[in-house]
Structure 1
Amino acid sequence: MNDAAHAMDRMYRRQRHLYDASRKFYLLGRDQTIAELAVPAGGSVLEIGCGTGRNLVRIAQTYPGAACHGLDVSAAMLDTAARSVARAGLDGRISLARGDATAFDPTALFGQDAYDRILISYALSMIPPWERVLAEAVGHLAPEGQLHVVDFGGQAGLPRPARALLNRWLAAFSVTPRATLPQVVADAAARTGAEACVRQRFGGYCVQAVIVRRTGSGVPAGGGGPPVPDHRPIA
């Protein structure tokens, strides 16, 4: 694995034990996003940046017929996720693998080339080449598949002191809100002939977005995403 993987392992070697307890108060919108996945009967779900496995366990419990897969670059986090999955008795329903979210082969990792639902929950704000992650995810959607994203937004509707305090807190955990996330989602959908829906929530505290890959859209299922243009924050 690359330097980013080693950095993540160093960061989470200790944090992983307190991650879920400390994050539940400010990673807003995760459970609503899971509820809105509406996984079809017998469908497949991939979470990119699955971390401790918290979301995957909830997904597997919410959608009992779904095959659930989780990808993360951190071996430390995957160890914690495996323990969480085992405690929930979901070993047979949830598969985990280590991989780089900017370029991965789900067939090699999980034996599946495309997914009905892909989830990225508060991971893009921690990955420097986050636009490449988004494009890669779109490329692994099955026809009529959906990519669901929830992450920190530009906070335009929050008071200035609240924004400053929040961003100082997030910076301590190497988290960078993606102010251009709505536009990047819209562009990723447009380039692939998909449809996008973006919602700014809680004064822009977080963004919830969905990309739907319609049958006959421009990117073959499992083919990876197209090149991504450079987006710079809007002043």
Structure 2
Amino acid sequence: MNRPWYEHRLADALAGVPDLHRHLDRPGAAIADLGCGEGWSTIALARAYPGATVHGVDPDPPSTAAAAGHAVAAGQTERVTFRTGDAATALPEAAYDAVFAFECLHDLPHPVEFLTSARRALRPGGVVVVMDEAAEDTFRAPAGDVERLLYGFSTMLCLPDAMSHEPSAATGTVIRESTVRDYAARAGLTDVEVLPIEDFGFWRFYRMRPR
């Protein structure tokens, strides 16, 4: 579902944030893509930043196997690699200039630990970029169309998946900005801003940095 956005809109969206774009566009930049799934976001990052190496990580073996195949088909095997594992075990410390997490934070049973591992993986000056659902700031009734869609996704898939692990934060798809900021602060990422990326589906981009 997200593949067209990554392939056709992600590069322009990131280029529209000049300081982030310069950070990613430096020769030799190292980027991690956590929860990469079948690797479409990872490959899109590599295409957008030809001077960077991009490392995709996902806990699902069939997904990382498919991602490796997609990288071969895209001709991106020299700068794109994939590994099966979770953030806590698959990320070396102080290894990346940027760590991305595309639409996966709300699915995780342990989002704070996930972001803590992402923070530890940053080089000095590095950033964590999270793309997740642009839920409303607060609950209101009647809910708008997007909010209703997010609740449908949450009750049918994302929330039960997160709660299949114990203990679990049980966040669900309706992840509000205040929740993201709370998770980030508890992970030591106390400098959080919403990036000025608009008209990108029903997603919101956050840049997170340790102070």
Q: TM-score range by the shorter chain?
A: 0.7 to 0.9
Match for residue 137 of structure 1 among 118, 131, 144: 118
Whole-Å separation in 2 of the counterparts to 1:151 and 1:130: 12
CA distances 1:177-233 after superposition (whole Å, capped 9, x unpaired): 2224342255247x46x532125967xx533210134xxx5xxxxxxxxxxxxxxxx
Give the deviation of 1:153 after TM superposition: 3.8
> Letter of the aligned partner of 1:46 in structure 2?
A
Asked if 1 retains the 8 angstrom alpha-carbon contact of 2:194 and 2:205, the reply is yes
Partner residue, 2:91: 106
Q: Deviations over 1:104-157 (max 9, x none)?
A: 2434xxxx7421011001011211211221121111111011110110143248
Partner letter of residue 56 of structure 1? Answer: T
Q: Paired residue for 2:150, among 146, 158, 166?
A: 166
Check the 8 A contact 1:185/1:211 in 2, yes or no. no
The equivalent residue for 2:169 is none
1:55–1:24: structure 2 CA closer, same or farther, 3 Å change rule? closer
Shift of the alpha carbon at 1:24? 4.8
Q: Distance in 1 between matches of 2:41 and 2:136?
A: 24
Q: Which runs of 5+ in 1 are unaligned?
A: 1-21, 218-235
2:194 alignment counterpart: 198
Distance change >3 Å, CA 26–CA 86, structure 1 → 2:
closer
Residue 208 of structure 1 is matched in structure 2 by 205
Any residues of structure 2 matched to 1:40-55 within 5 Å, and which?
A: 40-55=26-41
The runs of at least 4 consecutive aligned structure 1 residues that moved more than 4 Å come to 24-27, 199-202
Residues 137/165 of structure 1: CA separation in 2 closer, same or farther (3 Å cut): same
- 1:65 maps to 2:54: no
Bigger proportion of residues as helix? 2
Work out whether residues 104 and 132 of structure 2, in 8 Å CA contact, stay in contact via their aligned partners in 1.
yes
Q: What residue in structure 2 maps to residue 127 of structure 1? A: 108
Q: Partners in 1 of 2:44 and 2:3 — Cα distance?
A: 14
Q: SS at 1:119's partner residue?
A: strand
Asked if structure 2 preserves the Cα contact closer than 8 Å seen for 1:182 and 1:198, the reply is: no
The answer as to 2:6 corresponding to 1:23 is: no
**Unmatched 5+ residue regions in structure 2?**
160-171
With structure 2 as the length reference, what TM-score do the two structures score?
0.73
How many pairs align?
A: 184
Give TM-score scaled by structure 1 length.
Answer: 0.66
Contact 2:32–2:96 under 8 Å retained in 1: yes
Cα contact 1:34–1:59 (8 A) shared by 2: no
Equivalent-residue separation in structure 2 for 1:85 and 1:123 (angstroms): 21
Aligned mates of 1:174, 1:147 — CA distance in 2: 22
For the residue of structure 2 that corresponds to 1:174, the secondary structure is helix
Q: Distance in 2 between matches of 1:47 and 1:187?
A: 21
Question: How far apart in 2 are the matches of 1:34 and 1:81?
Answer: 22
Matched letter for residue 197 of structure 1: E
Distance 2:108 2:100 in 1: 15
The Cα RMSD (Å) is 3.1
SS of residue paired to 2:135? coil
